[in-house]
Amino acid sequence: MEYTEIVKFHGHSCPGSAIGYRMTLTAMKALAVTRAGDEELVAIVENDACGVDALQCMSGCTFGKGNLIFRDYGKPVYTLFSRTSGRGVRVCFLDATLPEEVKNDRSKKLEYILAAPEGDILSVKTVSINEPQHAKIYTTASCDLCHEPVMETRLKSFNGRILCIPCSLESTCE
């Protein structure tokens, strides 16, 4: 997949999407995998920055399919796991290795990230992880207060009512 496709999906070109592009390309190459049509790949991302759009576009791992897991650690790290091979790889972007002359210049930083040798900007490790569960489909119920549909596993019991999380939080303030 070309970087231009990432730009089209993300909406603009930026260092963050370039980082995600390089990280995902490296992870997929290390695992010798192609884009997932279903749940054959699982991605665990440790930030919610621009690069995650590149990962979704390239790997086919999405929240909707249940094969994209978000861990809010604020780290430029992706772990990609192949259900087919049982292998996983963890890729980290090494921000500290960027040359000083590109760090504060958005366009130079973008160009550098796209052209730099993999080993200069990325750390790649083979990892063993427990295979994540396949996506589950849960029954939907209605919140007793707002009457909107809610996945049953997200309902809360409060003062004899079954509430969605936002309504349960508002009810605790009454």
Q: What is the pLDDT of residues 106-116, one digit of tens each?
A: 999 999 999 99
Q: Report the pLDDT value the prediction gives residue 135, as an integer from 0 to 100.
A: 74
Residues 60, 111 within the same domain: yes
Domain of 150, in residue numbers: 140-172
Whether the full predicted model's pTM is greater than 0.75, yes or no, is: yes
Q: pLDDT tens for residues 82-93? A: 999 999 999 999
CATH of the domain at 71: 3.30.1330.130
39 or 53: which leads in pLDDT? 53
Structure tokens at 93: 């972007």
pLDDT at position 174 over 60: no
> CB under 8 Å to 83, separation ≥6 — which residues?
39, 40, 41, 42, 131
Number of domains in the chain: 2
